């Protein structure tokens, strides 16, 4: 009996494994490529170089206020960046005590799974007795 190359059959046979992960990976790369190259060009072609937006009074006021906040934040970046990093670290550390119980709960159901693989070409069923 000739030897089988299990690496090729495993990649195509496991639907949840290799084939799906490759499809997702390629679609993400293609999506990124199209969103950074084709879409900006199409926007310029469709909207033209001189696109004028009609913004209302409320949006104009919001834009002015937001621009002022962004300008002040960029001006004070040497204070804002360390404060934001400290806030993220404090928030992350506040969840640390819950990691052992919430993400990885300890459960003992008294059961275990046993997977057996018979040699190639064997059709007999193996009875399991407790």
**pLDDT tens, 12-31?**
444 555 778 888 889 999 99
Secondary structure (3-state) at 11: helix
Task: Average the pLDDT over 8-13 and give the result.
Answer: 46
Secondary structure (3-state) at 88: helix
Residue 123 has pLDDT above 60, yes or no: yes
Rounded Cα gap, residues 8 and 18, in angstroms: 10
pTM, two decimal places: 0.37
Phi-psi category of 48—alpha, beta or left, where left has phi over 0 and alpha has psi -120 to 50? left
Rounded Cα gap, residues 90 and 84, in angstroms: 10
Identify the pLDDT of residue 44.
84
Closest to 110 measured CA to CA, from 94, 130, 128? 130
Selected residue with higher pLDDT from 86 and 97? 86
Identify the pLDDT of residue 21.
81
């Amino acid at each position: 009996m000739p030897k089988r190359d299990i690496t090729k059959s495993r990649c195509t046979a496991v639907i949840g494994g290799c084939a799906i992960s490759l499809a997702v990976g390629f679609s993400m790369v293609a999506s990124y490529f199209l969103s950074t190259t084709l879409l900006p060009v199409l926007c310029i072609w469709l909207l033209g170089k001189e696109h004028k937006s009609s913004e209302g009074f409320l949006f104009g006021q919001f834009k002015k206020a937001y621009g002022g906040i962004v300008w002040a934040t960029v001006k004070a970046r040497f204070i804002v960046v360390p404060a934001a990093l400290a806030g993220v670290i404090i928030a992350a550390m506040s969840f640390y005590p819950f990691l052992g119980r919430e993400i990885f709960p300890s459960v003992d159901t008294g059961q275990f799974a046993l997977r057996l693989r018979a040699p190639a070409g064997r059709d007999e069923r193996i009875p399991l007795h407790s």
